[in-house]
Structures are given as structure tokens and as C-alpha cells.
């Protein structure tokens, strides 16, 4: 069975704890819900509500603390807790970031970048295989939001992700907003990035808001910060239309993690993604306005 056979065509939303009780009592016109397991593994009441919701909506589990790029190995205790939740929920998709956020017993509240070279490839591939072995299903790896690169990298991010897919059987989560803001910050063409992305491995798309901030190193220039604190920006919607033409009917998620709006605003964003996806499959989209 393909990864997304159980996934409806409509876009989903990231379900955050402030909306959990409302979501239980309010029918939502969205296709599916994505959760961060870190919000639930130590919260039995929230987990019970989530189990109830999993009877009504397909659920995707998106880890933010697994740190598959950690040089000191993945946190086995955390992996066991996430796996126990996955076993209860039977989610349609399980995903996480190409990044690291832990080193030995240190936990950093950030998703940090990796050099793209053979040594890192072997490290991440080995840890990805361990994760997939534990959870008993393919793991979707998400392209990061980038602010710096490594001069020692010997391959592009897209080549690195493609190699990981080839070596592990992992699938990819293409965060279209990350492609846009990383292209802006790092100086590459986001359309060319999407065109080189391994399309056959893409099993999910993300869309989230970013926040421009002055670049202290370059006066007069902004860098784009992946805050997930805004609506999806118009240029990202245009890039999303391109992504849908390239990747097809891949499940799409609206992410919003800070300054969280009303649940109805999230649903509106998901419906807009559905409208654009329909238009994008028919013709070139020139007007992305809501």
C-alpha cells in the first residue's frame, strides 16, 4: 500500500495543544491533522483526546526532537516514547527534519544544519535506518530552513536528500516555505531547487509563515526567519502551485506554531491550499490571492 493511500486529497492542519479541546468538539473541514509527538508523550489527557480524534481524522506524526543528524547518536529514550505513541495512533505518515538538536545530554531548542558530505551521509543514513526499524515504517525527512552553509559540503542539499532516499528507503517531506526562504537567504533559485528535488520520493508538503528580519551582516537586506507565526506569503503560494504541478496530489499541511491564530483561520489556509492545488493542476497560476 502506498504511504498516502489512507490520506484524503484535502489539505491538513498542524494541531497544537491550544486547539485540542476545540478540535474534539468541532467538526473541521480539513483532510487530516499533524501533531508533534513531543506535545503528547508526557501528557496522558492530551493523548486520550488525540486518540479520540484519530478515529475521525487521519493523523500524521511530525517529530521535532528526534535529531536524526546528531553526531552523538539519536536519543533512544525519546525514540522509544515516540514509537509507543505511534503504535497507539497508527498514523498515516511519520516525519522529522534533516537537522540536529541534541549532542550527548545537551538539548538545544533549535534545528541546526549539517554539512552535506559523505561522512554526514553515512551518519544520518545509519540513524534513519534505526528510526525506521523502531517505528516499523518509512520516515519522511524534511528539507531544512537554512541561514548558513558549510564550505566543506561536497554535495547540494537536494543531492544529499536523494542519496539518503537511495540508501535508506526513507521518503521526503518537501517544505515549500523552507525552499522559498532558504533560497532567499542562501541565494539560490527556489524553482530550480524544486525542479531538482527527487519527485518520486515526495510524500508530503508543508506550508508555513516566515518573518523578515534585518540582516545585521548586510545592511538594507532582510533575512527570512522560519517562525511559523504568519499566514503563508503570496510568493510561497505561487511556489506551492509549481510544487503541485511537479509532485502531483501530495498531502499538504498548514503549519502555524507561534502567535497561533483561531482554528478557523488555519482551516481557511488549508482550504486556500486546496483551491490553489486544483487550479495548479489545470493551468499556470498567476493570481494566488485568497
Residues near Fe ion, by CB under 5 A: 175, 206
Could you give the CA distance from residue 271 to residue 177 in angstroms, rounded to a whole number?
A: 17
Q: For Fe ion, which is the closer residue by CB, 75 or 175? A: 175
Query: In the complex, what is the shortest distance from the CB of residue 253 to Fe ion, in angstroms, rounded to a whole number?
Result: 8
Cell of residue 107, nine digits: 538539548
Strand pairing partners for 142?
97, 173
Query: In the complex, what is the shortest distance from the CB of residue 238 to Fe ion, in angstroms, rounded to a whole number?
Result: 18
List Cβ neighbours of 91 (8 Å cut-off, separation of 6 or more): 54, 58, 59, 60, 61
Cell of residue 97, nine digits: 527534519
The count of other CB atoms within 10 Å of the CB of residue 126 is: 15
Could you give the CA distance from residue 119 to residue 150 in angstroms, rounded to a whole number?
A: 14
Q: For Fe ion, which is the closer residue by CB, 163 or 175? A: 175
Query: In the complex, what is the shortest distance from the CB of residue 34 to Fe ion, in angstroms, rounded to a whole number?
Result: 9
Burial status of residue 235 (CB atoms within 10 A of its CB: 0-12, 13-18, 19 or more): middle
Cell of residue 86, nine digits: 505511534
Q: Which residue is nearest to Fe ion (CB)?
A: 206
Q: For Fe ion, which is the closer residue by CB, 49 or 260? A: 260
Query: In the complex, what is the shortest distance from the CB of residue 256 to Fe ion, in angstroms, rounded to a whole number?
Result: 11
Q: For Fe ion, which is the closer residue by CB, 34 or 75? A: 34
Q: For Fe ion, which is the closer residue by CB, 16 or 206? A: 206
Strand pairing partners for 214?
222
Query: In the complex, what is the shortest distance from the CB of residue 114 to Fe ion, in angstroms, rounded to a whole number?
Result: 17
Any idea what DSSP says for residue 102? Answer: E
The count of other CB atoms within 10 Å of the CB of residue 171 is: 22
Q: For Fe ion, which is the closer residue by CB, 73 or 261? A: 261
Nearest C-alpha neighbor of 69 from the set 33, 26, 115, 14: 115
Could you give the CA distance from residue 38 to residue 46 in angstroms, rounded to a whole number?
A: 11
Q: For Fe ion, which is the closer residue by CB, 172 or 223? A: 172
Our CA angle for 120, 208, 37, nearest 5°, is 65
Query: In the complex, what is the shortest distance from the CB of residue 55 to Fe ion, in angstroms, rounded to a whole number?
Result: 26
Q: For Fe ion, which is the closer residue by CB, 49 or 186? A: 186
Helical spans, DSSP H, in 97-233: 118-135, 157-168, 176-186, 190-196
Query: In the complex, what is the shortest distance from the CB of residue 36 to Fe ion, in angstroms, rounded to a whole number?
Result: 11
Amino acid at each position: 500500500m502506498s504511504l498516502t493511500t489512507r490520506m484524503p486529497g484535502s489539505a491538513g492542519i498542524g494541531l497544537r495543544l491550544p486547539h485540542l479541546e476545540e478540535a474534539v468538539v468541532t467538526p473541521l473541514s480539513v483532510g487530516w491533522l499533524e501533531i508533534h509527538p513531543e506535545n503528547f508523550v508526557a501528557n496522558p489527557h492530551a493523548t486520550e483526546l488525540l486518540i479520540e480524534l484519530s478515529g475521525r481524522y487521519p493523523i500524521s506524526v511530525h517529530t521535532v526532537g528526534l535529531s536524526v543528524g546528531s553526531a552523538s547518536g539519536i536519543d533512544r529514550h525519546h525514540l522509544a516514547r515516540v514509537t509507543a505513541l505511534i503504535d497507539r495512533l497508527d498514523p498515516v505518515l511519520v516525519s522529522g527534519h534533516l537537522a540536529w538538536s541534541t549532542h550527548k545530554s545537551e538539548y538545544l531548542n533549535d534545528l541546526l544544519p549539517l554539512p552535506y558530505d559523505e561522512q554526514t551521509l553515512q551518519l544520518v543514513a545509519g540513524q534513519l535506518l534505526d528510526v525506521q526499524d523502531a517505528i516499523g515504517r518509512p520516515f519522511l525527512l524534511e528539507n531544512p530552513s537554512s541561514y548558513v552553509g558549510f564550505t566543506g559540503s561536497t554535495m547540494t542539499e537536494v543531492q544529499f536528500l536523494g542519496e539518503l532516499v537511495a540508501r535508506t528507503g526513507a521518503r521526503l517531506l518537501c517544505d515549500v516555505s523552507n525552499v522559498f526562504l532558504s533560497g532567499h537567504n542562501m541565494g539560490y533559485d527556489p524553482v530550480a531547487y524544486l525542479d531538482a528535488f527527487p519527485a518520486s520520493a515526495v510524500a508530503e508538503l508543508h506550508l508555513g509563515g516566515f518573518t523578515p528580519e534585518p540582516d545585521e551582516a548586510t545592511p538594507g537586506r532582510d533575512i527570512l526567519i522560519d517562525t511559523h507565526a504568519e499566514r503563508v506569503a503570496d510568493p510561497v503560494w505561487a511556489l506551492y502551485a509549481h510544487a503541485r504541478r511537479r509532485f502531483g496530489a501530495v498531502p499538504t499541511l498548514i503549519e502555524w506554531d507561534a502567535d497561533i491564530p483561531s482554528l478557523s483561520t488555519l482551516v481557511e489556509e488549508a482550504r486556500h491550499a486546496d483551491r490553489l492545488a486544483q487550479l495548479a493542476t489545470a493551468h499556470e497560476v498567476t493570481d494566488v490571492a485568497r
